[in-house]
């Protein structure tokens, strides 16, 4: 399909050029004289550690933030900054991490959000929606269906469809696969490739090197707000990219220092059922063990864990913690006795966007920082400084507000907070989503350390290499049922996926 490049493309072969773009926030230089070029037919990966400045570039291109200095050249014309409206007119479409879907409205209304006139012929709107959906291979989505009924992956597809319906020439995706299953990821990547082949440029932000090297043509590495390199994929290896991002070589990515023997049983779940969600789920966890939970999104893993810690009720079954059977688990009891659950959704997990770092860190750590009911300001500051250093958090200072932190930094703080509670059993739901490679390794090291001290860990993760690399045993769920349990030495990507999808006999 012909796009809106005009003749300029032929002359200069550049769609967008960032020229010495700087963005300063109080206390932080988020971008420091960054320059690079996006050409047509380019899937351009933007990679870098948490806080490196990736989302800031996206906000600038989407017109949400203005550069402090520098120039944006779009199709040969110079701009000091863009507004959201101008950005859209120039053919830029941003798909943010937080999806912009109105759940009450139909798929078609979402697709043409802001484009549907007041008096419309609905049948023609549905027809147009159907055509676009079909073009993107989304035949199974009904345009009349409320968008809230769709899976996250489908909602994301609707956002892409929206961009396509507006003839966007640059599509920007900020960590698009972080909530997708392996299968959904594959579908998305192939769709992006076909859009690229039709002439759309794509900026792709991801912490997953495998994806980056799978689909990208060009890779730009940012570190601490500086552009380190911008190269064709063929001229750089993934090891080199990681080294440039982190500033040092990163080896032996998933290391599990498996203990010779696990300790006593800490948690036993027997025949747990929550009707409509999961059925007859049984598993046990010993001290010092990492038990992986694999399965497609929607297989019931999160629902099981929520019931175990008392966030949801269950219909029948038994939860035994530390040798005693819990009649009805409650959140308060779980936290008190050291059964800590870290949910996947960081917004609901109390990252207080208006509070500063110290208050965010200490909000659930009162036990650590108060003596006889008095909260010590000095202790809260020390503990926070400690956490900032241990996790190498990149921020303007302890006064920075939660909402001003990069996505990955928020995630790190939530994890650090949970670890500081010194749990007996720690249930982690997608703990490294949005976390950069260097920090991931740091987290894996901490998890190993925790198990050496006798903590039992349950790890829910959709990143197969992560589950395979870290777990001593893997429970696989499908559609609310446990469909298999694999020992570390039996588990391979193939054997886990076969169980999760249900091809195996």
Ligand X SMILES: Nc1ncnc2c1ncn2[C@@H]1O[C@H](COP(=O)(O)OP(=O)(O)OP(=O)(O)O)[C@@H](O)[C@H]1O
Give me the residues that bind Mg ion (CB under 5 A), please.
55, 406-407
**CB-wise, 72 or 457, nearer to ligand X?**
72
Q: Which residue has the tokens 């886990």?
A: 496
Minimal CB distance residue for Mg ion? 55
**Phi and psi at residue 484, in whole multiples of 5°?**
175, 160
Minimal CB distance residue for ligand X? 408
Which listed option, Mg ion, ligand X, none, makes contact with residue 79 (CB within 5 to 8 Å by class)? none
Question: Which residue ranges make up the site for ligand X (CB under 6 A)?
Answer: 25, 28, 30, 48, 50-56, 394-396, 404-409, 436
Supply the minimum distance, in Å, between the C-beta of residue 133 and Mg ion: 29
Structural Rg of the chain based on CA atoms:
24
**CB-wise, 30 or 496, nearer to ligand X?**
30
**CB-wise, 301 or 412, nearer to ligand X?**
412
Helix, strand or coil, per DSSP, at residue 306: helix
Tell me the C-alpha to C-alpha distance, in Å, between residue 225 and each of 52, 55, 69, 442.
Answer: 5, 11, 14, 22
Supply the minimum distance, in Å, between the C-beta of residue 232 and ligand X: 22
Which listed option, ligand X, Mg ion, none, makes contact with residue 404 (CB within 5 to 8 Å by class)? ligand X
**CB-wise, 50 or 88, nearer to ligand X?**
50
**CB-wise, 203 or 427, nearer to ligand X?**
203
3-state helix, strand, coil in the chain (%, to 5): 35, 25, 40
**CB-wise, 37 or 409, nearer to ligand X?**
409
User: Could you give the angle at which helices 182-197 and 152-165 cross, rounded to 10 degrees?
Assistant: 10
Which listed option, Mg ion, ligand X, none, makes contact with residue 21 (CB within 5 to 8 Å by class)? none
Supply the minimum distance, in Å, between the C-beta of residue 483 and Mg ion: 35
Supply the minimum distance, in Å, between the C-beta of residue 63 and Mg ion: 17
Supply the minimum distance, in Å, between the C-beta of residue 207 and ligand X: 7
Supply the minimum distance, in Å, between the C-beta of residue 50 and Mg ion: 7
Supply the minimum distance, in Å, between the C-beta of residue 391 and ligand X: 12
Residue (of 361, 410, 364) closest to 386 by Cα position? 361
How far apart, in whole angstroms, are the C-alpha atoms of residue 312 and residue 298? 16
**Segments of 329-480 assigned E as strands:** 339-342, 370-371, 374-375, 425-429, 456-460, 473-478
**CB-wise, 24 or 193, nearer to ligand X?**
24
How far apart, in whole angstroms, are the C-alpha atoms of residue 360 and residue 354? 9
**CB-wise, 56 or 169, nearer to ligand X?**
56
DSSP 428-461: EESTTTT--HHHHHHHHHHHHHHHHTT-EEEEE-
CB-based contact 199:1 (threshold 8 Å): yes
Tell me the C-alpha to C-alpha distance, in Å, between residue 353 and each of 26, 274, 384.
Answer: 17, 33, 17
Supply the minimum distance, in Å, between the C-beta of residue 119 and ligand X: 40
How far apart, in whole angstroms, are the C-alpha atoms of residue 372 and residue 308? 31
């Amino acid at each position: 399909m012909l796009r809106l490049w005009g003749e300029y493309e032929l002359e200069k072969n550049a769609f967008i050029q960032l020229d010495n773009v700087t963005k300063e926030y109080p206390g932080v230089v988020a971008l420091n004289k960054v320059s690079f070029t996006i050409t047509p037919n380019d899937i351009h990966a933007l990679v870098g550690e948490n806080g490196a400045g990736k989302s800031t570039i996206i906000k600038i291109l989407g017109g949400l933030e203005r550069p402090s200095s520098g120039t944006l050249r779009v199709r040969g014309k110079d701009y000091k900054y863009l507004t959201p409206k101008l950005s859209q007119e120039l053919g830029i479409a941003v798909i943010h991490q937080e999806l912009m879907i109105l759940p009450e409205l139909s798929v078609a209304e979402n697709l043409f959000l802001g484009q549907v006139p007041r008096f419309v012929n609905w049948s023609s709107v549905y027809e147009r929606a159907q055509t676009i959906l079909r073009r993107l291979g989304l035949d199974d989505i009904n345009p009349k269906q409320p968008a809230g009924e769709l899976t996250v992956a489908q909602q994301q597809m609707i956002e892409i469809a929206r961009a396509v319906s507006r003839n966007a020439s640059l599509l920007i995706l900020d960590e698009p696969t972080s909530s997708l299953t392996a299968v959904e990821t594959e579908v998305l990547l192939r769709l992006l490739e076909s859009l690229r082949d039709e002439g759309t440029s794509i900026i792709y932000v991801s912490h997953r090197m495998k994806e980056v090297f799978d689909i990208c043509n060009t890779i730009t590495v940012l570190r601490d707000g500086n552009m380190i390199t911008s190269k064709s994929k063929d001229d750089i290896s993934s090891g080199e990219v990681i080294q440039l991002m982190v500033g040092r070589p990163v080896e032996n990515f998933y290391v599990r220092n498996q203990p010779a023997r696990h300790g006593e049983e800490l948690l036993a779940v027997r025949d747990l059922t929550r009707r409509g969600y999961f059925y007859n789920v049984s598993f046990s966890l010993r001290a010092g063990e990492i038990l992986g939970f694999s399965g497609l999104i929607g297989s019931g893993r999160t629902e099981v864990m929520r019931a175990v810690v008392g966030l949801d009720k269950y219909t029948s079954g038994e939860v035994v913690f530390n040798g005693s059977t819990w009649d009805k688990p409650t959140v308060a009891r779980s936290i008190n006795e050291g059964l800590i659950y870290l949910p996947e959704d960081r917004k609901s997990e109390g990252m207080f966007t208006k509070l500063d770092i110290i208050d965010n860190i200490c909000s659930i750590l009162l036990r650590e920082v108060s003596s006889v009911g008095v909260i010590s300001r000095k202790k809260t500051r020390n503990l926070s400084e400690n956490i900032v250093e241990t996790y190498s958090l990149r921020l303007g200072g302890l006064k920075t507000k939660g909402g001003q932190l990069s996505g990955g930094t928020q995630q790190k703080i939530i994890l650090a907070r949970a670890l500081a509670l010194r749990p007996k059993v720690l249930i982690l739901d997608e703990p490294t989503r949005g976390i950069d490679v260097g920090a991931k390794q740091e987290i894996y090291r901490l998890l190993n350390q925790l198990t050496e001290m006798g903590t039992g860990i349950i790890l829910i993760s959709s990143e197969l290499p992560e589950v395979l690399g870290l777990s001593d045993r893997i429970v696989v769920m499908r559609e609310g049922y446990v469909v298999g349990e694999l020992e570390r030495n039996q588990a391979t990507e193939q054997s886990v996926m076969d169980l999760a999808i249900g091809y195996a006999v």
